[in-house]
A and B are shown apart, each in its own frame.
Chain A
Amino acid sequence: MKKTVHIPLGSQHISLLEPIRFKFECENEKIIGVDADVGFVHRGVELACTRSFEFKQVGYVVARVCGLCAITHSLSYTLAVEKLLGYEANDRIKYLRMLMVELDRIHSHMLCLAHTAENAGFEALFMQIMGDRELIMDVQEAISGNRVQFDYISIGGVNRDLTPELIALVHKNLSSLSEKIDALMTLFDNNWSLSLKYKGIGILTLEDAYTYNALGPLARAAGLATDVRAETSDFPYEALGYKMILESTGDIHARNFVRLREIVNSIEMCRNIIDNLPSGEIQEKAKGKPNGEAVVRVEAPRGELFYLVRGNGQNMLERVRIKTPTFSAIPAMMEVFKGSEYADAPAILASFDPCMSCTAK
């Protein structure tokens, strides 16, 4: 007689923000095998980038790959094209781009924390964190002029400049967020019911993180020191107070704490950026047409985002390849599920912060 049962989770499920299907093979309540299907929201973005849009317009197309890390996508593409055009941005442009990417990281991490709390059964905390997240959304809306589709970065610079009122707003919102994050850290550390759902659950060991090529907060929670911000020199991260955040236990609690501490670090970096903003033009001319091949890696909120852009000296690109962090992390995710209880699956899944529209694009 068969000893295992198959329980599907998704493609539509109460704990999911986006469609993904898991098929768990369970022995009683324990998960012993996982099968994942991620391609429910495929939109053909890569092909559209090479068939329907000219290279100057593609930056706005790839920003629509993901609603959360729109800035990171358009930044990666822009960097790749600027490499092909042989253009390097001045310091002010770099700082403004960094500011938006770090704000993006803060609000994306907060969404993940809220969602993890919700999936652990703490609905009120979900509301609270989502409410606090509005502080950052307001800043981004004021800087870029739109709440979700920022369209802030374009080839040769950024589209808008910071005014003194905006700088005051950023300072004000960051300091009130900073207090709230401190309170959240205490809550995540000491709350008894959250500890039951988080501590020692969904463990990814350091060896597994190496073997399955984990990345982003998932890897850093397991103690694997990998961060594109420390590995590349496109942006002056070191000078602005970047710190590698590592935890050692590799469970959901550790992943939450990596995110919380990264938010604190990002707030500090945002402050440094606006305090030391260099002067200069925000939009420069980047002339020519992309010829050759460029590879760019940028640290998105969920890990390494990889862009390959190939052009042949014409307006239309030959190839745009996007490898998103969630896609690369799927093997590690599947490994974490094995051996845990089925009832913990939603909380574990939320703690990975999977982005399906990025992955299927």
Chain B
Amino acid sequence: MTRLVVTGAGVLSPAGIGLQSLAAQISGHRGVPRSRSLDAGALCTEGPPDAIFNAVADFDVRQFLGRKGTAALDRQSALAVVACGQALEDSGLCVNDDNRDRIGVALGTSWGSLKSISDFVKESLLADRPYLVTPTHFPNTVLNCAAGQSAIRYGLRGINATVAGGRIAFLNALEYAANALRCGHADSMLTGAAEELTAHTAWAIHASRQEAKPTIVGEAAASFVIESFDAASACSRHVDIEVLSVSTGFCPGSRKPERVSACLDGCIRGVLKEAELGARDVTCVATCEAAGADDLHHGIESRAVAAVFGQTQVERIAIGSIFGECLAATGALQMGVMLALHRAHPRRDGQFSVMTGITRDGGYGAAVLRGWCRRGPNRP
């Protein structure tokens, strides 16, 4: 089986822009780091009461991409496009006429941009005539806008996919990208996910919660250059992460939480088996839900992780606790955090980690990763 590796990352998170801000956010805290609350200001003026917003602060797409071609980009696409550009740069993968047909894109999403879709409908409903909508906003209503815009910006003509999966969308995209690489549809895949913070996503998150605690709404985008180990080696690109296995699925009858736990449990064991590892080989587990398992999933994920890793000493990173609910971007942040930790700490070289995810409807997924820093003797 072709070995697949990550050779570069671009991450925009509530911690800031770039991997260093991500590492700084995580390091210096023992256990679960605390989230940094940011005023989302104009992003979300009609948000739910008592909600806390973790936005990518001061993000202005024009600072990264200039004015040309950015006027009609919605926030979701802008975040994704910038993350993809940073991943290419971090990897050192130069796009040119010799390779652009072989570089693909796979991005995860929930709705595309729910705000763009809803605002377009609103425009039609309120206009003097229902067709007097802004034509340049129409493409923003389609699910694959971010992936298409990323391809346009960097001239990526390979296979281009958008995978809708909510919280497991990045794992879905990772699985899709792995297939595309192994089947020879592409040599490199920009693989990521994005979720914008808007009143629409804030209310969607808020409305699906059952407990009284304030809703913590996040946003983020992250993208990774994934290619075969052989291709990365041939071009002397750094191997940051090896993706040993990834699998996603859906659990019918998901109104019974124990069923979803059992499905995720089986999925984690499956990806470990495929990676030829046992639970004891794993150093770190990154979950998507908040620590304490008190969020809308009622501990489904924690239960599965406890069942697999119960007696072993694993470090736990709960992405929901650090950034708030980032929906489709959650999985991309999990990988971003793992990569940032490896890059910052040579002592983590060669360590194995597992990332897991579930959606409230019964989607589940897991992946096994292994990482290294970019300096030091312990190269893969």
Are A and B a genuine interacting pair, yes or no?
Answer: no
Give the interface of B toward A (CB within 8 A).
Answer: none
